[in-house]
Amino acid sequence: MTKHRFGWTVWSFFFARLAKPHSPRRRRVGGKGLPVDLSSVEKVLLGVLITLGIGGCGPLAAYRQVLDVPFYAQRQDRDCGITSLRILLTFYGWASARTALETVEAPQGLMPLEIERFLRDHGVAYRVLPGTPEALTEAVRSGQPVLLLLNLSRGPYRRFHYVVAVGVEIGDNGRVQAFFIHDGRTPARRVSAAWLTDRWNRAHGWAIVLELRQVGRWMGEKIGKIIRG
């Protein structure tokens, strides 16, 4: 029996006990709640259940890693691409990223090809990540934040959104159960792996990682010349 099923089984048992008609011999647990009379064995089971936190909420996290990645909130709905790029470039040491990105004209938002062209034009090394949870997990665990595109469309309403994956959570069963993302509104927001994978796949699994630990002085001088004209 899995931990998930075990949790629901134990909770169902106690719900059934609480649902029994009251009797004068029953006492309140902690002075609150419904009157119950629990045997010694039942009390032990209840204590184990509460301590382990296995009330049907899924497997416990055996491993969790969240990178120390700067967060910037997007100013407008269509700024998610530029904001996510700024987060990545700042993480890798490009202090003038905001100034450089302000020169980009994208009133309708950036397309993935436009992001890649911006990086190539400015000499920033990157690689396109395979669109699999395993590749995303490996990148984050190696210390690389990942810029990825999600498809949040509902019905006829089309909506794509860039986020930066900054963390991963793995259950004690060895499976990835959640990712942490900078989503333009909330830093390190925890989302289930299933939720992220579904919306990522619907955006054709596009994602990139930068291959520079720090943008060098030559890069800074080059960007400065471009900005100055």
CATH of the domain at 137: 3.90.70.10
Can you say whether residue 143 is alpha, beta or left, with left for phi > 0 and alpha for psi between -120 and 50 degrees? Answer: left
Residue 36 has pLDDT above 90, yes or no: no
C-alpha neighbours within 13 Å on the C-beta side of residue 130: 6
What's the confidence (pLDDT) of residue 169?
Answer: 97
121 or 138: which carries more pLDDT confidence? Answer: 138
What's the confidence (pLDDT) of residue 209?
Answer: 96
Hey, which bits of the chain come out as E strands?
27-29, 32-36, 61-66, 126-128, 146-151, 160-171, 176-182, 189-192, 207-210
Work out the widest C-alpha separation in the chain, in whole angstroms.
Answer: 87
Total Cβ atoms within 10 A of residue 5? 10
Give the whole-number percent of the chain exceeding pLDDT 90. Answer: 46
pLDDT, tens digit, 9 for 90 and up, residues 159-180: 999 999 999 999 999 999 999 9
34 and 129 in a single domain? The answer is no
Distance of CA 209 to the CA centre of its chain: 16
**Of 58, 77, 97, the domain-final residue:** 58
Query: In the chain, how many domains are there?
Result: 2
What's the confidence (pLDDT) of residue 225?
Answer: 43
91 or 60: which carries more pLDDT confidence? Answer: 91
- Residue 148's SS3 state is strand
28 and 85 in a single domain? The answer is no
151 and 82 in a single domain? The answer is yes
pLDDT, tens digit, 9 for 90 and up, residues 54-67: 444 555 678 999 99
Q: Specify the pTM.
A: 0.68
98 and 207 in a single domain? The answer is yes
Q: What is the mean pLDDT of residues 122-150?
A: 95
Residue 8 has pLDDT above 60, yes or no: no
C-alpha neighbours within 13 Å on the C-beta side of residue 10: 22
